[in-house]
Structure formats: structure tokens, C-alpha cells
Amino acid sequence: MNEVKSWNKRLCALATLREINLRDHKMKRRLLMLPQLCLFFSLTSCVYWQSTCKKLLHKAEKEEPYDAIIIPGVPFDSVEGSWSSIMKIRVYWSFFLYKKGIAKNIIYSGSAVYTPYVESKIMGLYAQKLGIPIDHIFTETKAEHSTENIYYSYYLGKRVGFQRMAIASDPFQSRLLKSFARKIKLDVGILPMVFDSVETFNLNQQILIDPKSAYQPQFVSIEKRESFWKRLNGTLGKNYKPDSLDNKNRKGK
């Protein structure tokens, strides 16, 4: 049983690696289509079921709004010049939570990792197009792994005065990041995506942005900068650089 659990954790970590070649269109279609994602989520043990997601959403509706929600980044498809299905549903989920008054602000997180566009800035541009005011959009631009998304965004939020924050992503990633946050003692809530809520929007409408402001001219892909094993360690939360606020907190305990 312990061996099965150990392998399950490894598979969960491997599944979240961003080793997706955006030029491989066949693989991209398999990974980025929402129905396939839903099926994948339902077959894995490291996931929030939709019934749980809905309960967490209803609970959040009755409580005070979060100062900010944290949305992990996704590579921008620089070949086609458009957002992927995964990026789309994450941005729409953030828009839904903002529109419902559950979140006052949004922190989009992600550097230029696999393509020369800063993921958080791209997501912020789409969020503005949906109607989220720029004053309520924050971008964290250092993170290169999902664990870094939550860590760096949490302390960015602390620096601007946010007290109550939550992770808001797809059910699979939310489960993994909540476990990581608990492990390193980050006080964050969890708002895993409710697909029914996202599907209330017209996801087929064309939304155009000018991505130039998110472009990094000196970009080098993480695949050329880091080995597979270093990237895996990053996914497992072993590569982040401790924040000075974190160091002060730990020394004070």
C-alpha cells in the first residue's frame, strides 16, 4: 500500500510537469480539450471531485471575500498566437470568482518558461479584456513551476497587504498545490474550479490581445536551461528561493 501511494505521488508530480511541446499539435489537442481533462480528473486520486468543488464554492459565497486569489500560469502558444484551453478556463474561473464578489483581486503567476511570453502578463491581458479592472490585477513574474506559483504569489500578496488568499485552479492542480501549501505552512484557502460555472460563459468567443508587452526578447526555454531532474524537483517544490518575509517568520518561531 505504501509503495502504491508513493508511486501515486510521483505520477501526480509528473503529470503536472510542463513538458508539453506546443508544436506537437496532436499531443496539444489531447491535453488541452476540456472533456479529456474532466475524464482525466475523474480517473485520478489526486483530485477534488466536482461535488467537493461545489461545496467549497458555496462555502466561499457565504464568507468574507478573499483579498486575492492565485491563478497559476500556463504557456502562451506563441506559434498560434492565442491562449490554450487550459489558460482560457483558468482566466474565466478567475473572472467568475471576481464577478461573484468572492475575490477582490487576482494574482496571475508565471514567468516566460516554455515560450518567450510571460504567462502571468498574458493572463492579465486576457482578464482585462473580460472586464476585470487593471487595478485589481497583479502579476507574479518569477515562478517557473506550479509550486513556485503559489509560494511567490503568496508573498507578493503579503507585501501589498493581502491577508486572506486562496488558490484557484483546476481540481487536479488545486489538490496538489493545497498539499504543498500545507506542507510549507502557507495560510491559503482553496477554490478548485467548478466546471459548470465556467461553462456558463461563451468559451468559443474570440478574444484578441496584443501580447507584445509580455514578450521577453532574451528568452531561453527552461528545457535548455535545466535538466529534466531539476525541473522535476521544481515541480516537487524543491527549487524555490525563500522569500525574506518567509525567513523572518521562521526565525520568529
CATH number at residue 27: 3.40.50.620
Mean pLDDT of 56-61: 94
Contact of 228 with 87, CB cutoff 8 Å = no
| Short-list 171, 186, 181, 30, CA closest to 90 | 171
Q: How far apart are CA 136 and CA 138, in angstroms?
A: 7
Residue 168 belongs to what domain range?
2-251
pLDDT band of 34, cuts 50, 70, 90? low
15 pLDDT more than 60:
no
Higher-pLDDT residue of 242 and 154 is 154
pLDDT bucket at 36, cuts 50 / 70 / 90: low
Q: Is the pLDDT of residue 250 over 70?
A: no
Q: Is the pLDDT of residue 32 over 90?
A: no
Cβ pair 171, 192 in contact under 8 A: yes
Rounded Cα distance between 184 and 34, Å, is 31
**CA angle at 99 for the pair 95 and 105, rounded to the nearest 5°:** 70
pLDDT band of 81, cuts 50, 70, 90: confident
Residue located via cell numbers 498539499: 179
pLDDT digits (tens, 9 = 90+) for 99-140: 999 999 999 999 999 999 999 999 999 999 999 999 999 999
How high is the mean pLDDT of the chain? 84
Would you place residue 22 in the very low, low, confident or very high pLDDT band (cuts 50, 70, 90)?
A: very low
Between CA 101 and CA 107, with CA 105 as vertex, the angle to 5 degrees is 135
76-85, 119-128, 148-157 — which is least confidently predicted?
A: 76-85
pLDDT in the model for residue 48 = 82
* Residue 43 predicted with pLDDT over 60: no
Specify the pLDDT at position 78: 72
Name the domain count of the chain. Answer: 1
Q: 150 pLDDT exceeds 70? A: yes
Could you write out the three-class secondary structure of the chain? CHHHHHHHHHHHHHHCCCCCCCCCHHHHHHHHCHHHHHHHHHHCCCCCCHHHHHHHHHHHHHCCCECEEEEECCCCECCCCECCHHHHHHHHHHHHHHHCCCECCEEEECCCCCCCECHHHHHHHHHHHHCCCHHHEEEECCCCCHHHHHHHHHHHHHHCCCCCEEECCCHHHHHHHHHHHHHCCCCCEECCCCHHHHCCCCCCCCCCCCHHHHECCCCCCHHHHCCHHHHHHHHCCCCCCCCHHHHHHHHCC
The predicted-structure confidence for 195-206, as pLDDT tens digits, reads as follows 999 999 999 999
Which pLDDT belongs to residue 38? 53
pTM for this entry: 0.80
